[in-house]
């Protein structure tokens, strides 16, 4: 029997069980605040990341590389997907149980909709529940953008990333529209599992924010893996026929058609605000549908906050977590934290090897007027880093952009085994004002990947000091 009361008065309502929302809910619940956490789907306790985002996709990267010669690609893929689902299912249960353990916290499963600025309605198992709250946190995440392409909504073979990682049959040919985070990561992982992969990117280059040397190294790795990347691609139509879909696109003035048994649009994600009733709450949104927030993540209604992807900020789990720190600081702290304090936030693209970056690229540093020097080496040539040889992954490049005048690190790009870990050290160094020389001369364990810094930072391949002295001599 559904015993949920039809009205609940709460101190804090959290709409959406994402990283920011659950962290804030748990902390406030622990302090005895009456918290109601509303999640629309029983398959999403814990949010996107552990259920259909970071965790399953990175687990698939791991499993894709572990196939033995004797395993057939299809069987290995099916086995991997099953194992990954067991993992996500256990994470989902843990997420629910940890929050449910707080006496003052109630989890309601149903879609939350604002009725007015202090009231949210939820249908729980067919029963209408009205929740009132002094403070409300919106943490509803984002959803895939489906581009306006002829036939895309009619094709049975067009799938989301969630559909893709849940299917147990390995697609023979996967066509991905968009060569950003999702397109490159999933393209790389399905290629490793054994699919033929074509990525159709509309701009003139993938990884276009990166410097040419870094982008070129990554692109040559993709090419060697046999991933077909088409740039300047304008997808014209998707039409079902036979066992799959035919994707027609135009690139550099020529028209092409490619057959696919799965087509994944990976063209960005938009804030999930549809059906939330934000108008009833008096909460403003941007033209792209993101909730408008100030640097303390307060919306146009002071008692309503928005955390994570829904506020239109960078779409990363750790940014949503940091949003929770800011909101908690407003609610129970000193009110000092703000999004304006955030800098040197690292990123990792989980291809193989991963590409982890932080701060400025060489191009951006020069454009910003810095005099710089660049320390860089190919991973296979970093003799201080035998780990690359130990784990048989010597592909990649590491690059540091250093301010010539202050010796501070302005940015780094690490395309290397373990770079998702190393980049956090660089990011911390940048935030704490550690100089490049200090980072280079630090004591690191051996054999580790971080000890590469002992070499790379000192291998200066370009320096504005050299350029100025050459100019003086001339």
Here's the x/- map for ligand FAD, 46-65, by CB under 6 A: it reads as -xxx---xx--xx-------
Query: Of the candidates 16, 20, 178, 346, which one interacts with ligand NAD according to CB under 6 A?
Result: 178
Question: What is the sign of the dihedral through the CA atoms of 399, 344, 351 and 213?
Answer: negative
Binding to ligand NAD (CB under 6 A) within 198-217 occurs at: 200-203
Out of ligand NAD, ligand FAD, none, what residue 15 binds, judged by CB under 5 to 8 A for its kind, is ligand FAD
112 binds ligand FAD (CB under 6 A): yes
211 binds ligand FAD (CB under 6 A): no
The one segment of 264-272, 338-346, 376-384, 466-474 that binds ligand NAD by CB under 6 A: 264-272
16 binds ligand FAD (CB under 6 A): yes
Instruction: Say whether 180 counts as a known binding-site residue.
Output: yes
Closest by Cα among 193, 197, 172 to 184: 197
Out of ligand NAD, ligand FAD, none, what residue 140 binds, judged by CB under 5 to 8 A for its kind, is ligand FAD
Binding to ligand NAD (CB under 6 A) within 220-239 occurs at: 233, 235
Instruction: Say whether 69 counts as a known binding-site residue.
Output: no
19 binds ligand NAD (CB under 6 A): no
268 binds ligand NAD (CB under 6 A): yes
Instruction: Say whether 110 counts as a known binding-site residue.
Output: no
Is 446 annotated as catalytic?
Answer: yes
Out of ligand FAD, ligand NAD, none, what residue 203 binds, judged by CB under 5 to 8 A for its kind, is ligand NAD
Least distance CB 198 / ligand NAD (angstroms): 12
**CA 165 centroid distance within chain:** 16
**Cis-peptide, bond into residue 253, ω within 30° of zero:** no
Query: Of the candidates 59, 60, 64, 182, which one interacts with ligand FAD according to CB under 6 A?
Result: 182
Instruction: Say whether 181 counts as a known binding-site residue.
Output: yes
Cα dihedral angle (244, 181, 217, 65), rounded to 10 degrees?
-70
322 binds ligand FAD (CB under 6 A): no
Least distance CB 235 / ligand NAD (angstroms): 5
* Whole-angstrom distance, CA of residue 246 vs CA of residue 237: 8
316 binds ligand NAD (CB under 6 A): yes
Query: Of the candidates 24, 38, 177, 456, which one interacts with ligand FAD according to CB under 6 A?
Result: 38
Binding to ligand FAD (CB under 6 A) within 358-417 occurs at: none
Instruction: Say whether 201 counts as a known binding-site residue.
Output: yes
Q: What is the 3-state secondary structure (H, E, C) of the chain?
A: CCCCCCEEEEEEEEECCCHHHHHHHHHHHHCCCCEEEEECCCCCCCCHHHHHCHHHHHHHHHHHCCCCCCCCHHHHHHHHHHHHHHHHHHHHHHHHHHHHCCCCEEEEECCEEEEECCEEEEEECCEEEEEEEEEEEECCCEEECCCCCECCCCCCCECCHHHHHHCCCCCCEEEEECCCHHHHHHHHHHHHHCCEEEEECCCCCCCCCCCHHHHHHHHHHHHHHCCEEECCEEEEEEEEECCEEEEEEEECCEEEEEEECEEEECCCEEECCCCCCHHHHCCCECCCCCECCCCCCECCCCCEEECHHHHCCCCCHHHHHHHHHHHHHHHHCCCCCCHHHCCCCCEEECCCCCEEEEECCHHHHHHCCCCEEEEEEEHHHCCCCCHHHHCCCCCCEEEEEEECCCCEEEEEEEECCCHHHHHHHHHHHHHHCCEHHHHHCCCCCCCCCHHHHHHHCCCEEEEHHHHHHHHHHC
Instruction: Say whether 23 counts as a known binding-site residue.
Output: no
Count Cβ neighbours within 10 Å for each residue of 169-182 and write b for 16 or more, e otherwise: ebbbbbbbbbbbbb
Instruction: Say whether 112 counts as a known binding-site residue.
Output: yes
Residue nearest to ligand NAD (CB): 180
267 binds ligand NAD (CB under 6 A): yes
155 binds ligand NAD (CB under 6 A): no
Out of ligand NAD, ligand FAD, none, what residue 38 binds, judged by CB under 5 to 8 A for its kind, is ligand FAD
304 binds ligand FAD (CB under 6 A): no
323 binds ligand NAD (CB under 6 A): no
272 binds ligand NAD (CB under 6 A): no
Nearer to ligand NAD, 266 or 430 (CB): 266
Q: Which residues are catalytic?
A: 446
Binding site for ligand NAD (CB under 6 A): 147, 177-183, 185, 200-203, 233, 235, 266-269, 315-316, 348-350
Residue list for the binding site for NAD(+) = 178-185, 201, 268
Binding site for ligand FAD (CB under 6 A): 15-20, 38-41, 44, 47-49, 53-54, 57-58, 111-112, 139-141, 161, 182, 272, 276, 308-310, 315-318, 320, 350
């Amino acid at each position: 029997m559904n015993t949920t009361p039809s009205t609940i008065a709460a101190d804090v309502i959290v709409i959406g069980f994402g990283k920011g929302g659950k962290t804030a809910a748990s902390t406030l619940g622990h302090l005895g605040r009456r918290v109601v956490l509303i999640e629309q789907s029983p398959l999403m306790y814990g949010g996107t990341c552990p259920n259909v985002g970071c965790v399953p996709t990175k687990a698939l990267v791991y499993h894709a590389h572990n196939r033995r010669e004797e395993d057939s690609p299809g069987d290995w893929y099916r086995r991997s997907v099953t194992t990954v689902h067991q993992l996500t299912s256990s994470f989902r249960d843990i997420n629910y149980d940890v929050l449910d353990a707080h006496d003052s916290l109630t989890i309601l499963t149903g879609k939350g909709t604002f009725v007015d600025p202090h009231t949210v309605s939820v249908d729980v198992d067919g029963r209408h529940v009205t929740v009132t709250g002094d403070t409300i946190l919106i943490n509803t995440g984002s959803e895939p953008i489906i581009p306006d392409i002829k036939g895309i909504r009619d094709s049975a073979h067009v799938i989301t990333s969630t559909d893709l990682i849940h299917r147990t049959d390995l697609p023979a040919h996967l066509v991905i529209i968009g060569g950003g985070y999702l397109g490159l990561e999933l393209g790389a992982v399905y290629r490793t599992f054994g699919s033929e992969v074509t990525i159709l990117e509309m701009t003139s280059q993938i990884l276009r924010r990166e410097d040419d040397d870094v982008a070129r190294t990554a692109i040559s790795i993709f090419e060697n893996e046999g991933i077909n990347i088409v740039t300047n691609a304008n997808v014209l139509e998707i039409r079902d026929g036979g066992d799959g879909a035919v994707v027609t696109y135009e690139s550099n003035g020529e028209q092409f058609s490619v057959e696919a048994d799965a087509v994944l649009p990976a063209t960005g994600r938009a804030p999930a605000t549809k059906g939330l009733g934000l108008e009833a709450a008096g909460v403003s949104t941007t033209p792209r549908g993101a909730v408008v927030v100030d640097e303390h993540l307060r919306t146009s209604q002071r008692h309503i906050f928005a955390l994570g992807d829904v506020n239109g900020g960078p779409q990363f789990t750790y940014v949503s977590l940091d949003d929770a720190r800011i909101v908690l600081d407003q609610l129970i702290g000193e009110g000092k934290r703000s999004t304006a304090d955030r800098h040197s936030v690292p990123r990792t693209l989980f291809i193989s090897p991963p590409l982890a970056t932080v701060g400025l690229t060489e191009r951006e540093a020069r454009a910003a007027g810095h005099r710089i020097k660049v320390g860089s080496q190919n991973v296979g040539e970093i003799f201080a880093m035998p780990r690359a040889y130990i784990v048989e992954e010597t592909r990649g490049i590491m690059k540091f952009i250093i301010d010539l005048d202050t010796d501070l690190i302005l940015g780094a790009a690490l395309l290397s085994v373990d770079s998702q870990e190393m980049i956090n050290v660089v990011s911390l160094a940048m935030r704490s004002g550690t100089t490049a020389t200090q980072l280079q001369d630090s004591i690191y364990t051996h054999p580790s990947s971080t000890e590469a810094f002992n070499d790379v930072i000192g291998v200066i391949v370009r320096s504005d000091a050299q350029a100025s002295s050459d100019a003086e001599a001339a």
